[in-house]
Structure 1
């Protein structure tokens, strides 16, 4: 079975102040953020990887730009957060695990090469950066065995930041979908992971990509920083 990959791109991305959906923001090399992601996916997983995009805000622009992808519609894109977009995508997926990423992350192609080893092993994971721990970012801690314990913006004593590239295995997917359905509309998908760890004893491994670049583009200064790498 080909690898199932989801890009979350339903949000309005208003903080960047662009007229198009944020994933269609052009980088300095002429590609859009999402095109850079597609290139990274093909580099790591080949042409057979199946990519689904969760769309909402100005969806027609994304559909036009990536006609070969599949699409999942979050009709409540202006009322919900990434937890509900991911829930819809996982429900629409076929049997097997799902790799997903936020549609506004510009990242090193090697990040998915590193991820592929975990995907092939069927191990759920969260990609992390231990080089910095910012208050406004999603942070994490680990348990005694080294698996993710806490995962949120309010974590105290975080070991690093989640970078927005994650995988749920076939065995873990149903539990994660159930928890995503229970969290609040404004929760990030990380809350669903946290509850699945706490209540269903799922084990997500932190995959350290601190030596690689990964920039979540929320503001103009983030875009400037991302352009230093591409």
Structure 2
């Protein structure tokens, strides 16, 4: 089985204040955020992993930088959020499970190594950081069996934050797609996961990577923090 990997890179990234798509932001080591992601993917899964990138804002700049991967175009990138970009990508990746990540996450290469057992077992998961719980981030709770129960920015009593690197098992893919279709255009993909859990009993494991680094670059201070690790 060829591992399907999706990078969500359609957004305008206006909060960072750059003209290029945020995944092309250059890090302190000279690589772009997306190049760091590609390097981590290839180190963990080799050259056989199939990468599909969802583009929108200034799509040609991403395609020019990474011409050897597959692309899905979200022509409504300025009107929709990550839920609809992910929906388009899942529809383009066949029946297999999919590992996906936000295109602005700078992360430790060991994150994917830790995820390997769950991916090989085809078990849906979200990566989480339990070291901090910020009001502005997507938070989660678990049920009595330890599976994710709630997943949103409005969660109260969250156990940690979602990192933005996730996997949907082949058996759960259609369920997630159905709920991503139903959510509002401006919803994050986490809303689709949350509804799939609540309404269809989809079982999603939290994968704790608190001892590793993963920084979602939204603002200049996030970029500064990410540059401390690379």
Q: How many residues align?
A: 230
Corresponding residue of 2:130: 130
Corresponding residue of 1:195: 195
Distance 2:116 2:48 in 1: 14
Corresponding residue of 1:62: 62
Corresponding residue of 1:35: 35
Whether the 8 Å CA contact 2:95–2:173 is kept in 1: the answer is: no
- Superposed CA deviations along residues 163-202 of structure 1, whole A, max 9, x for unmatched, are 0000000000000000000000000000000000001100
- Tell me the TM-score normalised to structure 2 length: 1.00
Distance 2:118 2:44 in 1: 12
Corresponding residue of 1:151: 151
Deviation at residue 116 of structure 1 after TM alignment: 1.5
Corresponding residue of 1:9: 9
Matched, 1:82 2:82: yes
Corresponding residue of 1:184: 184
Please identify, of 114-123 and 204-213, the stretch whose mean Cα deviation from structure 2 is larger.
114-123
Deviation at residue 4 of structure 1 after TM alignment: 0.1
SS of aligned partner of 2:19: coil
Superposition CA RMSD, Å = 0.4
Runs of 4+ in structure 1 over 2 Å off: none
- The answer for unaligned runs of 5 or more in structure 1 is none
- Tell me the TM-score normalised to structure 1 length: 1.00
